[in-house]
Structure 1
Amino acid sequence: MAKLSEVHPGNYVFFDVQQSVIGSCGLEDVAVRVLCRVIGHSPHRNQLLLDCGWSALRYQGLY
C-alpha cells in the first residue's frame, strides 16, 4: 500500500448522489463532496458550467 499513488474504491465506499437517489443512503451519508466555482448557468437546459477538473467529476451524471 505504501507505493500506491491513487485508490479508486468505487461509490459503494463513500456513497454518492446516485446512491441516495436509489435509496441506498441519505444525502447526509455521502462522504465525499467536491467544492468548485459555478461559472455559468443555463436554466432552460437545467445545466451548470463548473470550474473544476474532470477527475473530480468522473461520475456519469450530475444532479
Structure 2
Amino acid sequence: MHPLNFQRPILNFVADDSRALRRTLNHRDRDKLDECLTIARDVEQRITRAERFPETPDPRVDTPAGIPA
C-alpha cells in the first residue's frame, strides 16, 4: 500500500497495484484491465482539465429563454 500523496493522480496508485495483479491474469483479462485503466486515465485527465479551465459562458451566445443565467 502507498502513503497518500495528493500531488500524484489516484490512478497512478491503482496502476502500481495492478502490476502485481496483471501477472495472475490471462491475456484476455489483461487486455480488459488495460482497457479499464485507459478509460479511467482519460476520465481523470478530463476532470483535471475541467478543473483548470472552468466552463464559462460564451458572451457571444444568448442564453435561451427559460434557462436561468
Shorter-normalised TM range? under 0.3
Q: Which has the larger radius of gyration?
A: 2
**Which structure has more RCO (C-alpha within 8 Å, separation ≥ 6)?**
2
TM-score computed with the length of structure 2 as normaliser? 0.21
